[in-house]
Amino acid sequence: MRVQILSVLAVVSAAVNAQSSTVVPAPEVTGNSVGTVYAAILPEKEDSTVRGSIYAYPASNGTGVRFSVSISGLPAEGGPFMYHLHEKPVPSDGNCSGTGAHLDPYKRGEVPACDASMPETCQTGDLSGKYGNITSQEWTQEYVDLYSALRTDSVAYFGNLSVVVHLSDKKRIACANFTLAAAMDPIRTISSGFALPTSSGVSNTTVPSPTGGVPISPSSSSSSSPTSLPESNGAAGKFVSGTVAIFAVAVALVL
Ligand SMILES: *[C@@H]1O[C@H](CO)[C@@H](O)[C@H](O)[C@H]1NC(C)=O
Ligand SMILES: *[C@@H]1O[C@H](CO)[C@@H](O)[C@H](O)[C@H]1NC(C)=O
Ligand SMILES: *[C@@H]1O[C@H](CO)[C@@H](O)[C@H](O)[C@H]1NC(C)=O
Ligand SMILES: *[C@@H]1O[C@H](CO)[C@@H](O)[C@H](O)[C@H]1NC(C)=O
Ligand SMILES: *[C@@H]1O[C@H](CO)[C@@H](O)[C@H](O)[C@H]1NC(C)=O
Ligand SMILES: *[C@@H]1O[C@H](CO)[C@@H](O)[C@H](O)[C@H]1NC(C)=O
Ligand SMILES: [Cu+2]
């Protein structure tokens, strides 16, 4: 009996150890090529100078998501700043506490800390852990994260979630929902667009507005691009909600 109990304990403790020391790597998310552009635009609050946006595009080869980060007005003290995809949207009152924890669909947890040399082992939403903290008051950066999804059928989908910017002590200083900025429409071909903020030429004057247009990356801005973007997110948003409404009516009729 004692031997049995001991061996059960050994198995349990081995399992616990395995769980805490082995991080299951996140899979790369393929099939992001067709779809949509999402944007998180930090709200302009009177009591904060922080402004900016994070655009999320399907990676050009379909694997992962290309993030374009542009943030300005960060405080002189309190850095380096961290930012993450969080697991819940921002409540309507704008309180960043309501966004919950980091997006962590594979339940890796907070510890051990993300090792940027093995980004697949980090929490999916830990963008600053994987690609670096924000170390100045103005920041632009672009990168592809292979583990994020714009496909709604992936657990790593964040298009209806949020991004949160933190001080070094984790205090939440800004947050925004991601929203659909444009649905890519292969039929229409509009080649005009904003230039993306680039890593050279940091600017605090122009943050692309979600209603003013959609920035198009240097790599996809040529007129031969097979994809295109409608002029305003209003149209895309109406189209989507219209589709949802039709679907809801259809469901109602069936039921
Ligand atoms: C897609 O491009 C990324 C770099 O942006 C690369 O790491 C990845 O292996 C590529 N995937 C495929 C399937 O080609
Ligand atoms: C964020 O999105 C959620 C869900 O769509 C919505 O309820 C909430 O009001 C939005 N938050 C803000 C600050 O717009
Ligand atoms: C934000 O929400 C948290 C709890 O979620 C609460 O403790 C805090 O007082 C709220 N802040 C404001 C400004 O309402
Ligand atoms: C976001 O969308 C996904 C896929 O449609 C869904 O499973 C998830 O519940 C949604 N999350 C929130 C917070 O709305
Ligand atoms: C980012 O800053 C936090 C807080 O200061 C720190 O714990 C973390 O190690 C930093 N991450 C990187 C990748 O430098
Ligand atoms: C941009 O930043 C520079 C220096 O950081 C400042 O002098 C300038 O007034 C800022 N412009 C705007 C529009 O905030
Ligand atoms: Cu966070």
Is the pLDDT assigned to residue 190 strictly greater than 90?
A: no
As a whole number of angstroms, the distance between CA 45 and CA 229 comes to 29
**pLDDT at position 4, please?**
60
Beta strands 36-41 and 51-58: pairing type?
antiparallel
Residue among 27, 28, 25, 33 at smallest CA distance from 151: 33
Q: What is the pLDDT of residue 219?
A: 41
Pocket test for ligand 1, best of 130, 143, 146 (most atoms within 8 A of CB): 146
At residue 141, the pLDDT reads 98
* Residue-wise pLDDT tens digits, 36-84: 899 999 999 999 999 999 999 999 889 999 999 999 999 999 999 999 9
Among 119, 97, 89, 90, residue whose Cα is nearest residue 106: 119
- Mutational pocket test of ligand 5: of 111, 128, 135, the residue with most ligand atoms within 8 Å of the beta carbon: 128
**pLDDT tens per residue, range 94-141:** 999 999 999 999 999 999 999 999 999 999 999 999 999 999 999 999
- Of all ligands present, the nearest one to the C-alpha of 96 is 3
Which residue lies with its CA nearest to atom 12 of ligand 4?
160
CB 101 near ligand 1, within 6 Å: no
Residues with CB under 6 A from ligand 6: 204-205
Report residue 115: phi and psi, to 5°. -105, 110
For residues 39 and 179, give the distance between their C-alpha atoms in angstroms, rounded to a whole number.
6
- Please, what sign has the CA dihedral across residues 81, 157, 36, 225? positive
The model's pTM: 0.71
Is-contact 121 106, C-beta < 8 A? no
For residue 180 the two structure tokens come to 């659909």
Q: Which atom of ligand 2 is nearest to the CA of 43?
A: 13
